[in-house]
Structure 1
């Protein structure tokens, strides 16, 4: 703010960049010809691979085969985004005027709490050009916590079970797995209604 920058591009240190990301990041002519930095907007460059509600718009043309959709629901993560000077001023003023016990995490604030506020717009780059390494690789992530590794090393002590107990356990596991699969599918269908997952490429 003190340097009067028109916008700021923010990345976390565990971000993976997609195809042609350099076209967006090495120059900003595409940004300056499409946006007014006095407006209150954020361009979300990341996807968290969760179902989100997007509104298609035609005012701002695509760039490099990627659309600028309007985010209409929560989308977690702050691995990569562009914030305008107008939005930065708005967020700072917002934080100044709320009680300290109402302050939340950055992604909770800018990509959830403020999403439905008038004149505050979050554009979702679609497909996204970045993703957190942990989201991209899930269980194969190279950023696995050291604590988690220590937990996995601990020896597990198990008591021997009778054949009847083993068979009962197998039956319970099968029933539980079937019910869980059915519940997950029902939740997925419910969650996906009117939503889509922003691709990373």
Structure 2
């Protein structure tokens, strides 16, 4: 399973221009350790991208299965870019950071982050973290699909009920007779019941 999982890491450039900048050196080393850990765990690391305005286009081209945000002091900005880039096509997002300011963790999870990991990049931790993130994302997607189906079913039922009410009012039919008429029309025309109901309502609105 891991070999087929296409991963994109969103992270700052590893190049450190100032050799005396200990913070930048530590962050670069941590980012390097993350990428090595992914490879050691047989994950398919397809690209490392900067968090910039072109991120959305690059993700659309690469079509990764999972996105890892590797950030520290600029964690909020990086996450914002990733969330914007995936708003139309959701993907599991895992965030690794050493930023101990956890005040925005709740907002990150609400924005779609499946796992928020502060410090601790031991290679043996990477696989279970990503496995759990994928499982959580799939569970949430299933719940969203169920909710969307329920909303659609409720909307369809209301449309059919309105059409039945119209037939009952204008043709003096019982509720059961109105339903049977709608169903027969749908079967004869090879259409869904809700589509027949909606067409009838549209015609009624047009004719007044």
TM-score for both structures, normalised by structure 1: 0.27
Q: Who wins on radius of gyration, i.e. which is larger? A: 2
From the two aligned structures, give the one with the greater helix fraction.
Answer: 2
Asked which structure has the greater RCO (Cα within 8 Å, sep 6+), the reply is 1
From the two aligned structures, give the one with the greater strand fraction.
Answer: 1
